[in-house]
């Protein structure tokens, strides 16, 4: 049986758009597209957005907005100015914003350390690419004693995840465990990448985290160990096809 097309009245579309404006204080163009043609998606969208970005889970309001500022800067998402407002309202300062920007800029130069490890490590064994990365990060943050150390880790995680930079993400995750950064806070921070960068960035970041836990270099807590020990997490397996040979 054919599904009847969704044919809202103009007033119904305007009502949906204005309802969003009333709840959030602003409107973006995709809300209109959903209101006019995909109302079920718009309804689910609001629930997911609230759960992912507004509801309190493991991060405090300030921690969440610090991470958001890093994520949006790394992803070059200029549209997220409401998070700038929330950053300052939740306790952010110009100095802490400067720390965010320094961390994001640092994350975008991590390819240098990856190159060193991949190709020149035998020529520069001390201190090694990963140790040099950690030491350089500490020097980078020496100007910001007021910044909680765990927040610098979370900001770098989302900066790397937004760019699908697996080497930096792997090394930063290893350092998170060395510094006892909360695993639930890591999970919540990485989940935010889903919104501006897409679910596959969150999926890939989770895959890197899984690799780190399975490497034996870190000791996850029991809930995360249960995840790490779960077999067959490679997705759906599709056997390769062979070309049919046409008889000559």
Residue count of the chain, please give it: 248
Q: What angle do CA 82, 102, 163 make, to 5 degrees?
A: 70
- Encode the chain (248 residues) as per-residue pLDDT tens digits: 667 777 888 888 899 989 988 988 888 888 898 889 888 888 888 888 888 888 899 999 999 999 999 999 999 999 889 999 999 999 999 999 999 999 999 999 999 999 999 999 999 999 999 999 999 999 999 999 999 999 999 999 999 999 999 999 999 999 999 999 999 999 999 999 999 999 999 999 999 999 999 999 999 999 999 999 998 888 888 899 988 777 66
Report how far residue 185's alpha carbon sits from residue 188's, in angstroms, rounded to the nearest whole number.
5
Report how far residue 92's alpha carbon sits from residue 33's, in angstroms, rounded to the nearest whole number.
34
Phi then psi for residue 46, to 5 deg, are -65, -40
For residue 97, how many other CB atoms are within 10 A of its CB?
A: 17
Model pLDDT for residues 36-65, shown as the tens digit of each residue? 988 888 888 888 888 888 889 999 999 999
Model pLDDT for residues 187-211, shown as the tens digit of each residue? 999 999 999 999 999 999 999 999 9
Q: Quick one: pLDDT at residue 237? A: 85
For residue 206, how many other CB atoms are within 10 A of its CB?
A: 17
Report how far residue 208's alpha carbon sits from residue 218's, in angstroms, rounded to the nearest whole number.
13
Q: Quick one: pLDDT at residue 53? A: 82
Q: For residue 73, give Cα distances in angstroms to 79, 84, 138, 153, 155.
A: 11, 11, 21, 16, 10
For residue 82, how many other CB atoms are within 10 A of its CB?
A: 13
Report how far residue 10's alpha carbon sits from residue 157's, in angstroms, rounded to the nearest whole number.
44
**Interaxial angle between packed helices 129-140 and 166-178, expressed in degrees from 0 to 180 and rounded to the nearest 10:** 70
> DSSP secondary structure string, 119-144?
IITTT--SS-HHHHHHHHHHHHTTT-
Query: If 0-12 CB within 10 Å is exposed, 13-18 middle and 19+ buried, where does residue 42 land?
Result: buried
pTM of the model: 0.89
Query: Residue written as tokens 């140790």?
Result: 131
Q: Quick one: pLDDT at residue 2? A: 65
Phi then psi for residue 203, to 5 deg, are -60, -50
Cβ atoms 185, 63 nearer than 8 A: yes
């Amino acid at each position: 049986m054919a599904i009847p097309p969704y044919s809202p009245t103009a007033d119904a579309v305007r009502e949906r758009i204005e309802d969003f404006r009333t709840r959030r204080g602003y409107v973006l163009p995709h809300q209109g597209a959903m209101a006019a043609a995909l109302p079920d998606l718009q309804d689910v969208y609001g629930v997911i957005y609230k759960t992912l970005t507004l509801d309190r889970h493991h991060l405090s309001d300030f921690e969440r907005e610090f991470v958001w500022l890093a994520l949006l800067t790394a992803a070059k998402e200029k549209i997220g100015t409401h998070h700038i407002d929330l950053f300052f309202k939740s306790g952010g300062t110009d100095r802490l914003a400067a720390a965010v920007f320094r961390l994001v800029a640092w994350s975008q130069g991590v390819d240098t350390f990856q190159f060193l490890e991949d190709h020149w490590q035998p020529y520069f064994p001390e201190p090694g690419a990963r140790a040099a990365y950690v030491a350089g990060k500490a020097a980078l943050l020496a100007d910001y004693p007021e910044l909680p150390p765990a927040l610098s880790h979370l900001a770098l995680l989302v900066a790397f995840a937004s760019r699908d930079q697996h080497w930096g993400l792997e090394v930063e995750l290893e350092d998170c465990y060395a510094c006892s950064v909360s695993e639930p806070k890591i999970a919540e921070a990485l989940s935010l990448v889903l919104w501006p960068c897409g679910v596959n960035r969150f999926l890939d970041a989770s895959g890197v985290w899984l690799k780190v836990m399975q490497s034996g270099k870190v000791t996850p807590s029991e809930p995360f160990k249960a995840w790490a020990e779960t077999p067959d997490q490679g997705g759906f397996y599709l056997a390769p096809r062979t070309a049919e040979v046409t008889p000559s």
